[in-house]
Amino acid sequence: MATNQQRREAAKRKLERQLARRAERAKRRRIIGVGVTAGVVVVVAGLIVILATRDGDDAAADNATPSTTPSEQIDIPTERVSVPERPEPLPNPTTCEYPASEEPAAKDVQPPDGKNVSSRGTVQVTLRSTAGDIPLTLDRSLAPCAVNSFVSLAEQGYYTDTSCHRISTQGLQMLQCGDPAGSGRGGPGYTFADEVFDQLKYGRGVLAMANSGPDTNGSQFFMVYGDAPLDPSYTVFGTIDDAGLRVLDKVARAGHDGSFDPSPGGGKPTMEVKFTGVDVAA
């Protein structure tokens, strides 16, 4: 028969478990409440979607308590969004400018040639990763300067042996990659202008450039596998095929470490996504 002391200890342990479960539920409600509020997501996205460059934002991420996102908390849409189209075609060829950025390159690379850049046709690219292959279709008609830069970086080996540093699973559902430093601050040593238009929509299957404000595109990009209630401030330069989306779904359901919580949300993927190579179709 249990003694009074044993009963008191058992009751104490039960109470501690109940309090821990309540705290976890409250935390999830707070996260979900922020994630589903489109206005809040847009403001957050404007601060760090997806290129973290401000010291205050990075300090908040660095000091966040690590957490995980179990698969049962993630609701991933299965339907793709419609591929955006420009209301008016761009001149072909066009000219792109790639001025030096204030920050040095995170990995040695040369800026692309910006003369006589085609604004027609597509480029097939496959990101070979430790989580699986992610095939992409880059669309020059949407963003010729972004496509030109991405292909140049890929062919120079800039993305090879780099890991995606952030995945977000609530509100804004995307995987962010393209920083060899893995901190969210790294870039190629140059920038280029936004290639956006009012009709842009984001959602499952969209490939877009990350930025830290107007005309600050570099090497970082994000792949949307679910919801993305963003304003049209991020250059869309292609799409992700079905096989690639299945890889992203798998990575998302594996969770993250919460290192970017509470703002802008998400963290380093629990399942590492490291690019072992990038294939560009001739």
Residues 88-108 pLDDT 10s = 999 999 999 999 999 999 999
SS3 for the chain is: CCCHHHHHHHHHHHHHHHHHHHHHHHHHHHHHHHHCCHHHHHHHHHHHCECCCCHHHHHHHHCCCCCCCCHHHCCCCCCCCCCCCCCCCCCCCECCCCCECCCCCCCCCCCCCCCCECCCCEEEEEEEECCCCEEEEEECCCCHHHHHHHHHHHHCCCCCCCECCEEECCCCCEEEECCCCCCCCCCCCECECCCCCCCCCCCCCEEEECECCCCCECCCEEEECCCCCCCCCCCEEEEECHHHHHHHHHHHHCCECCCCCCCCCCECECCCCEEEEEEECC
In a domain, 7, yes or no: no
In a domain, 11, yes or no: no
Query: Please, what is the average pLDDT of the chain?
Result: 83
In a domain, 118, yes or no: yes
Q: Which residue has the tokens 């085609």?
A: 118
98 and 191 Cβ atoms separated by less than 8 Å: yes
In a domain, 254, yes or no: yes
Q: What is the pLDDT of residue 179?
A: 97
In a domain, 21, yes or no: no
Q: Which residue has the tokens 């420009």?
A: 86
Into how many domains does the chain fold?
1
In a domain, 9, yes or no: no
Residue ranges making up the domain that contains 120 = 36-280
C-alpha distances out from residue 55 to 59, 184, 185, 270, Å: 6, 11, 10, 25
182 backbone dihedrals φ, ψ, rounded to 5°: 75, 15
In a domain, 12, yes or no: no
Q: What is the pLDDT of residue 34?
A: 33
In a domain, 3, yes or no: no
Q: What is the pLDDT of residue 58?
A: 34
pTM: 0.78
* Strands 174-177 vs 122-129: parallel, antiparallel or unpaired: unpaired
259 and 72 Cβ atoms separated by less than 8 Å: no
Q: Which residue has the tokens 């359901």?
A: 253
Residues 218-270 pLDDT 10s = 999 999 999 999 999 999 999 999 999 999 999 999 999 988 888 778 999 99
Q: What is the pLDDT of residue 259?
A: 87
Domain containing 82 — which CATH number?
2.40.100.10
For the ranges 192-201, 256-265, 267-276, the lowest mean pLDDT is seen at: 256-265
